Amino acid sequence: RRPGRESAGAMFGFKKKDPVAKLRKEYEACMKAATDLQRQGDIKGFAEKSAEAAEIEKRLVEAERAAGS
């Protein structure tokens, strides 16, 4: 038995896509890119990427509310 497998139902759970997890991953990647741009001195790029991250964060909050979190 593999670790992390609590029941037989969990075996097929990997095929379901979690929209909250996907948005969280997208948000984190966007914030990392924004930070990298800021460190490189690209303030305009940083501002654009930060705005994009803010939009993703809004969608993430909505998805979390819809999921009942």
Tell me the whole-structure pTM to 2 decimals: 0.72
27 Cβ neighbours under 8 A, 6+ residues apart:
53, 56, 57, 60
Dihedral (CA of 44, 47, 52, 55) sign: negative
Q: What is the DSSP letter of 40?
A: T
Which value, in Å, is the radius of gyration of the alpha carbons in the chain? 17
Instruction: Quick: pLDDT tens for 15-52.
Output: 667 889 999 999 999 999 999 999 999 999 999 999 99
According to the model, what pLDDT value does residue 68 have?
83
How many angstroms separate the CA atoms of 56 and 34, rounded? 13
